[in-house]
């Protein structure tokens, strides 16, 4: 358990309140936006391999639909709570609005350790969860995607279960599927690519370019590893990376391809040779130009924010910075690319995949990647311009203010307020 843990829904509500006050919006607008439109709780029985039946609890939070269908991932984790799912669905609302996508925010989760399940048990869990949600999801209603400990195989089971329950064989009911079932390869790399793109664009604005800049990345899963890959290809120097077992650091830079190989072969980056072992906590305060927290929530706190030396922080994880830490970083002049922008490559590519499914799968991977990059750059520029004009608020508040303005305007147009 993270000793610095703060309830994510409490964090999300605090962030929203700050934005509502800053924009001078009425209290009832805050009341409407802090509460999801719908939270569905389901019980998910699974007949285990030992013959006994275990019952798991799952949720789907549908936060706001003013701009379109709910959109967001489904995570399987032993620490999932309803509050966490609610917070993540709220952040998805701001994320999709900020990126200009025709979506609202949603998020799902099951309280389970999937690593302790067999393949058959995992499939039954996934199918039963989606069957229980089948009335509340759909290509024009709510479009789930993978998240923590879920993947394209789980999405394939979701598609098939949806077909069994509803009779509709629709690939676009979920995104980040296997390519054979309407998915796109670019979705696999999209979140890490989006983090890298926003870090590159921030470096252009604030430091003079990405080449030869030092980058430290906490978390070498899908997001962190692909962020490292693309930043390295663009000329940045990856000086430190870490995963759940610890990290490695080298002032002269790490070989990203070797990191991929070590992680794949030995299960952790700590087995990378010719580098100093460091902890996840030490990585955050290294002398680096760009810091990418791409692992857990609440890792940058009021305790370590004063020691952070990076000029730019690109949040690959969801909610890695606490509200108090945000204030400290802003006072110190450190530019934080907030998670709802930095890690929005995944949902942006999901939108491209979803639109492609509706068109009959016409797009090529090259076209999809080009569209993704255009969308991320456009969103970054809009955010940076908005924040630059105001400067009296931190970049996260600016991003959420911009997003909230769009959602509130949509709610007004619909006659909700």
Alpha-carbon span 8 to 22, nearest angstrom? 21
Alpha-carbon span 280 to 218, nearest angstrom? 7
Alpha-carbon span 217 to 313, nearest angstrom? 10
Tokens describing residue 408: 């509130």
Alpha-carbon span 7 to 165, nearest angstrom? 35
Alpha-carbon span 362 to 345, nearest angstrom? 20
Number of C-alpha atoms within 13 angstroms, CB side, residue 102?
Answer: 7
DSSP result, 256-307? HHHHHHHHHHHSSGGG-SSSEEE-HHHHHTSS-SEEEE-S-SS-B-TTTGGG
Helix (H) or strand (E) holding 173: none
Alpha-carbon span 87 to 396, nearest angstrom? 15
- What are the residues whose beta carbons fall under 8 Å from the beta carbon of 333, sequence distance 6 or more? none
Q: Is 81 exposed, middle or buried (0-12, 13-18, 19+ CB in 10 A)?
A: middle
Alpha-carbon span 268 to 240, nearest angstrom? 13
71, 107, 214, 371: the active-site residue: 107
Indicate if 107 belongs to the active site.
yes
- Cβ burial 290-303 (10 Å sphere, 16+ → b, else e): bbbbbbbbbbbbee
Alpha-carbon span 165 to 126, nearest angstrom? 14
Tokens describing residue 36: 């999801």
- In degrees and rounded to multiples of 5, residue 387 shows phi and psi of -65, -40
Q: Are 213 and 289 in contact (CB under 8 A)?
A: yes
Alpha-carbon span 232 to 211, nearest angstrom? 9
Partners of 146 in the beta sheet? 74
Q: Are 157 and 130 in contact (CB under 8 A)?
A: yes
Residues annotated catalytic, as ranges? 107
């Amino acid at each position: 358990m993270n000793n610095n843990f703060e309830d994510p829904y409490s964090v999300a509500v605090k962030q929203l309140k700050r934005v509502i006050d800053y924009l001078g919006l009425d209290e009832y607008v805050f009341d409407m936006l802090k509460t999801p439109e719908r939270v569905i709780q389901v019980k998910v029985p699974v007949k285990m391999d030992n013959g006994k039946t275990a019952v798991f609890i799952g949720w789907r939070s549908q936060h706001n639909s003013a701009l379109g269908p709910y959109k967001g991932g489904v995570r399987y984790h032993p620490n999932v709570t309803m509050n966490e799912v609610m917070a993540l669905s709220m952040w998805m609302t701001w994320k999709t609005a900020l990126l200009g996508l025709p979506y609202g925010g949603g998020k799902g989760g099951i309280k389970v350790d999937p690593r302790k399940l067999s393949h058959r048990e995992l499939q039954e869990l996934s199918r039963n969860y989606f069957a229980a949600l089948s009335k509340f999801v759909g290509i024009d209603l709510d479009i789930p995607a993978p998240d923590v400990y879920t993947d394209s195989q789980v999405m394939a089971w979701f598609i098939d279960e949806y077909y069994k329950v509803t009779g509709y064989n629709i690939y676009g009911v979920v995104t980040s599927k296997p390519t054979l079932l309407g998915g796109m390869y670019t979705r696999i790399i999209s979140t890490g690519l989006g983090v890298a793109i926003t870090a590159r664009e921030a470096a252009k604005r604030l430091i003079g370019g990405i080449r030869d800049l030092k980058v430290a990345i906490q978390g070498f899963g899908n997001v962190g590893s692909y962020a490292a890959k693309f930043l390295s290809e663009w000329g940045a120097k990856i000086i430190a990376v870490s995963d759940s077992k610890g990290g490695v650091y080298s002032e002269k830079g790490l070989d990203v391809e070797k990191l991929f190989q070590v992680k794949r072969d030995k299960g952790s980056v700590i087995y990378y040779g010719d580098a100093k072992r460091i902890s996840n906590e030490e990585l955050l305060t290294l002398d680096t130009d760009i810091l990418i927290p791409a692992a857990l929530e609440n890792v940058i706190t009021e305790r370590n924010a004063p020691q952070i030396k990076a000029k730019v922080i690109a949040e690959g994880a969801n909610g890695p910075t606490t509200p108090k830490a945000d204030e400290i970083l802003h006072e110190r002049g450190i530019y934080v690319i907030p998670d709802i922008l930095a890690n929005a490559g995944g949902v942006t590519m999901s939108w491209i995949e979803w639109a492609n499914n509706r068109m009959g799968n016409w797009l090529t991977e090259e076209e999809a990647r080009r569209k993704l990059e255009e969308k991320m750059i456009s969103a970054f520029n809009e955010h940076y311009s908005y924040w630059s004009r105001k400067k009296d608020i931190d970049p996260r508040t600016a991003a959420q203010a911009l997003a909230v303005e769009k959602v509130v305007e949509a709610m007004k147009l619909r006659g909700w307020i």
